[in-house]
Amino acid sequence: MKTTFLASVAGLALTAGAAAAQDLKFPVGEGGFNWDSYNQFADAHDLSGQSLTVFGPWLSGDQTLFESMLAYFEEATGAEVQYTGSDGFETQIRIDTEAGSAPNIAVFPQPGLLRELAALGFVEPMPEGTGDWIAENYAAGQSWVDLATFEGPEGGEDLYGFFYKADVKSLVWYVPENFEDAGYEVPQSMEELKALTEQMVEEGETPWCIGLGSGGATGWPATDWVEDLMLRTQPPEVYDQWVSNEMPFDAPEVIAAIEEFGYFIEEDRVAGGQAAVASTDFRDSPKGLFDTPPQCYMHRQASFIPTFFPEGTEIGADADFFYFPAYEEKDLGQPVLGAGTVFAITEASDAANVFIEWLQTPIAHEIWMAQTGFLTPLTTVNTEVFGDPTLKKMNDILLEATTFRFDGSDLMPGGVGAGSFWTGMVDYAGGESAESVASEIQDSWDALK
């Protein structure tokens, strides 16, 4: 899903506030937090009298949560932090960097724009040693390093970003009571998932609810399916070649992944039949899980989808999820598709470097974890501090990942990832062949060159 899809970009809303205005959410030294990491950091850094400016996409509730974490950085170092949030971040950060008025730290919703600004020389490389630290301390650590390593203005590659706050897309949602009543077990491999799909059909049940409808963005849910299936049928380096178009969109590997998606939307396997897939709104598609009797038993979608479940649905009881499994026979580990925000230094300062070091402490993650809306690949956090057991379970999937890859369509040129890829998948669901769709998408990519 596009990270900006549900955000309104009609106006440039800006809100700013110093994190120091907040009291510390959790008293230092209390609870199960890693206060040793906080105390060691505080002992090592004194930024009294220095300021730090941070600009990002978070507004409202997310801004409050982010600032609750910033308050601890201020308390530990004596620095004053000014955060500004905008729903027009992508436009404004271009203007600010080109005008020489960039913030010290910019928080990018996805790495594509960061790559562009790094190539123009508007972003500073991460402090020395940051990449080694990420590789050693993040689950699937090298994946996160690779995602933020770009060519600089002189052509050489460097690490330009630090990922903080992740999202997980590789999830299948279901109603435990329905599974229990029917005698179904949660599958542990793709082979078992397909066997369960076929068992349901044989028993006269419909396995899947899938909807691609999304107004002007219709088609995007299918791109997530294809990305997940690319990671389950091909090594991660092939996924990278596909996303960058080093391997053409109409290569056999990509066509095969599209056809893998086709398996799940065959007539008897999806609610309403294949013809209904493209016309069903993605927000309505999971509702069939909750009908009596159920219209479907499974729905593959990212961590945000409970927003569209019936009011009062309790996750873990009324609905639950499992990892969208990998093929056991292909031996590709446990890949996870997701997204995340990436921090970059857009105006160098001592405080900016120290802040990147702060993001490497468990406490910088645990403060947000203990509230809501936060996942992290940092392996040294205490996951028992999660304020939400559902998020803890999602985070366990993230920590068990052997490979993490960013939403591929978000990394492609807009005309492809948010254009021909979307419409092509609608055409495929409507009956056009995978070969034809893939060729048309590649033609659109070639037209941009």
| Ordered DSSP codes for 15-49 | EEEEGGGSPPSS-TT-TTS-HHHHHHHHHH---TT
- C-alpha 221, offset from chain centre: 14
What's the predicted TM-score (pTM) here?
0.92
CATH code of 171-335+411-448, in short, is 3.40.190.10
On the question of a common fold for 14-167+337-406 and 171-335+411-448, the answer reads: yes
Here the tokens at position 307 are: 């927003």
Q: Would you list the domain boundaries of the chain? A: 14-167+337-406, 171-335+411-448
pLDDT value of residue 8: 30
Whether 114 and 108 have beta carbons less than 8 Å apart is answered as: yes
In a 13 Å sphere around the CA of 99, the CA atoms on its Cβ side amount to 9
* Superfamily of domain covering 14-167+337-406: Periplasmic binding protein-like II (3.40.190.10)
Residue of 69, 49, 24 whose CA lies nearest to 349: 49
Cβ neighbour number for residue 392 with a 10 Å cutoff: 15
Amino acid found at 352: A
Q: What is the pLDDT at residue 13?
A: 44
Helix (H, G, I), strand (E, B) or coil at 134: helix
Indicate left, alpha or beta for 100 from its phi (over 0: left) and psi (-120 to 50: alpha). Answer: left
What is the separation of C-alpha 52 from the centre of its chain, rounded to a whole number of angstroms? Answer: 27
* Helix (H/G/I), strand (E/B), else coil: 298: strand
3-state DSSP call for residue 394? Answer: helix
Per-residue pLDDT of the chain (449 residues; tens, 9 = 90+): 443 333 332 333 455 554 444 589 999 999 999 999 999 999 999 999 999 999 999 999 999 999 999 999 999 999 999 999 999 999 999 999 999 999 999 999 989 999 999 999 999 999 999 999 999 999 999 999 999 999 999 999 999 999 999 999 999 999 999 999 999 999 999 999 999 999 999 999 999 999 999 999 999 999 999 999 999 999 999 999 999 999 999 999 999 999 999 999 999 999 999 999 999 999 999 999 999 999 999 999 999 999 999 999 999 999 999 999 999 999 999 999 999 999 999 999 999 999 999 999 999 999 999 999 999 999 999 999 999 999 999 999 999 999 999 999 999 999 999 999 999 999 999 999 999 999 999 999 999 98
Neighbours of 443 (CB within 10 A): 12
